[in-house]
Amino acid sequence: MSGDQQDTPERTHIGRYRQIGSALRRHGLGVLWGLLGLDRTFRGARGGAGSALRELTAEAPIHLRAALEELGPTFIKLGQLLSTRSDLLPPAFVTELAKLQDAAPPVPVDLIREVISSELGAPPEQVFASFEDQPLASASIGQAHAATLADGTPVVVKVRRPDAVSLVQTDLEILQNLASRATRTWQFARDVDVVAIVDEFVATIRAELDYLEEGRNAERFARDFKEDPSVIIPRVYWEHTTSRVLTLERMEGMNIADVGALDDAHVDRNLVARRGADIVLKMIFEDRFFHADLHPGNLFIHPDGAIALIDFGMVGVIGEELRGHLSRLFIAMVRGDAELLASALIDVSVTGASVDRLTLRDDLRPFVARYQLRSVRQTPFAPMMADLFTLLRTNRVRLPREMMLLFKALLLIEALAMRLDPDFRLGEALGPYAERLAWERLRASAIAKRLARASIDVGELALDFPSILRRLVDAADTTGIQVHLRAAELEPLVGRAERIGNRLVAGMIGAALISGIGGLVSSDRRWGSWRGTMVGAGLGAIGALGAYLSWTARHRRFH
C-alpha cells in the first residue's frame, strides 16, 4: 500500500485523482490519463487515442503493474481482475498483471482487538481460548489470526481492516467516474463496455467486504462436497462470525505447488492432479457454483491426497442461460462448425461493439480445425484458450465475467495439475463433462424447456411490437429520423402489425392448449374424473381461438 494512501485516510476525491495521475506519469503512463482529458499535456494531442497509445513502450505492462501496486489495494485488485480478461488485454499485460499480490502491511493488533470486541461483544481473550497477535497473513481487505475455540478446535479468525471501507469506497467512486469519462473519449472503452466491467468489479469488491457472504459460500461448497471425503471445506463458526469477522476451521497441509514436500510425504502427485481437476470440473458442470481463485495458496494437500480449500470470497455462478451458451460452444467444437461457434460467441458476448459475424466465422475456421474436440483431449488448454482470446480481441468480442472466471479456474487448475504431473491433459478430464453438457441440450425435456422460453419471448415481442411501431411513428413525426415512409404512411402498417401480433399470440396459445390436451389424453390417472371436463374445456377454447383467427383473416382481407 502506498504511503500517501495510508497517511491520508480522509483524503478528498480531488486529492486522490492527483495521486492517481502522478503515479501514472511517474511510471510513464501519463498518456492514459490524457486519454480521459485529465492532463493538459495530452488533451490536445494530435491523432487521438490511437496516436497517444503508440507512445506506450514495450515495458508498459511492467510500468502498469508498478503503478497499480503503488496506488494500493483497490487498484491491485483491479489489476488482478484485468489479469483474467485475456479477451480484452494482450498477453503481455495479462502475464504481468497476474503477478500482482494482494498483500498489505499488518494492522496493529490493538486495532484488530477493537474490531473483535465491537463485533463479538468481548475481547478476543474472552471469546477464544487462545488468540495469536502475530497475523498469519495480511491483505488489503483484512488479515487472518490463528486462534483456538474453548473446546480446543484450532480456527482462523479473519478480521476486516478498520479502514477498509473508507479506503476502498473513494477509489470505487473514482473508477466509476473514470469509466464513464472513458466511454465519452475513447472508442476502445465503448467497444469493450468499460462501464460494465468497472460495475462488475465494484460489485465484486463490495461482496468481498462482507464476510457473511464468504461464510455462506463456504457452507455451499461444504454441502456440494459432503459425500466426498477427499475434499475438505472448513467449517464456519457462525457464533463467532459477523460481516467484519469470519471464524473458520483451520486447515493444515502442504502447499499444492510444493512438489518436494509432496514427494517427501510420498503423496501420489498424479492422483492429486486428477483430483484437483475433478473438483473444479464438478463445481462448474454439476454444481454450477465454483471457486474462482484457486491459486496455490488456497489449496492444501493432506498426506493421504485429500485436498483442502480455503478463501471463498470470489466465486462464480453458472446460470441456466450461460450453461446453454457453454453447451452450444462445445457442440460447435464437437461438430467442427465455425458458423455455429461464431454464432455462439456472438450470442454470449456482452460487447458494446458491433461484431462482423462473417469475419469471425472465417477467423474461427482454422481454430476449429486445429482444436476440434476429438483432438483437444491431448492438447494443453492454455495455448488453445490463448488462440481463442486473440481471435476474440481481434473481433471485439467480450465475454461475460462469469465465463471468464470459469476459464480462469480451468487455466489455474491445469497449470497446477501439469506442475504435479507433466503428462496431465485437462482435455481428457474435461471431455466427458463437455460431452454430457452438449447431450443435455439435445434431450427432449431440454428442448421443450427452450421452446417454452422462446414462446414466451416471442409472445412478449409480439405484444410489444405494435407499441414499438407507434413509438417509431412518433419519432418520425417529432425528430425527423431518416425513414423513407412518412408517418401517415406508417399508420396502416401499425394497425396491420397489431392484428398480426394478436393473431401470433393467439396461435401460440392454441398450440399450448393442443399440447396440454395431448398430455391429458395420454395421462391415465393423474387428473381422474376431471380429465374429461378439462379436455372439453380445452377443445372449446381451441374452437374459440380458431373462430377468432378466421375472423381476423377475413377482416384483414377487407382492409
- Residues marked active site are found at 293
Q: Which residues, 6 or more positions from 175, have their beta carbon under 8 angstroms from its beta carbon?
A: 74, 78, 198, 201, 202
How many other CB atoms are there within 10 angstroms of residue 338's CB atom?
A: 19
In 3D space, the residue among 361, 398, 364, 355 whose CA is nearest the CA of residue 384 turns out to be 364
Q: What share of the chain is helix, strand, coil (3-state, %, to 5)?
A: 65, 5, 30
In 3D space, the residue among 176, 205, 193, 188 whose CA is nearest the CA of residue 53 turns out to be 188
Q: Which residues, 6 or more positions from 70, have their beta carbon under 8 angstroms from its beta carbon?
A: 2, 23, 26, 27
* 3 state SS of 45: coil
Distance CA 114, CA 109 (A): 9
User: Do residues 435 and 327 make contact, with C-beta atoms less than 8 angstroms apart?
Assistant: no
User: Do residues 250 and 152 make contact, with C-beta atoms less than 8 angstroms apart?
Assistant: no
**What is the side-by-side order of every strand in the sheet holding 231-232?**
231-232, 307-309, 299-301, 254-255
User: Do residues 316 and 290 make contact, with C-beta atoms less than 8 angstroms apart?
Assistant: yes
User: Do residues 285 and 436 make contact, with C-beta atoms less than 8 angstroms apart?
Assistant: yes
Strands 142-148 and 154-160: antiparallel
Task: For cell 488468540, name the residue.
Answer: 131
Distance CA 323, CA 285 (A): 8
Q: Which residues, 6 or more positions from 322, have their beta carbon under 8 angstroms from its beta carbon?
A: 348, 400, 402, 403
User: Do residues 69 and 76 make contact, with C-beta atoms less than 8 angstroms apart?
Assistant: yes
DSSP alpha helix (H) spans, 48-100: 48-53, 60-71, 73-82, 91-97
**193 CA to centre of own chain:** 15
For the CA atoms of 544, 549, 550, 555, what is the dihedral angle to 10 degrees? 130
Distance CA 181, CA 161 (A): 31
Task: For cell 498469519, name the residue.
Answer: 136
The kind and range of the H/E element at 142 are: strand 142-148
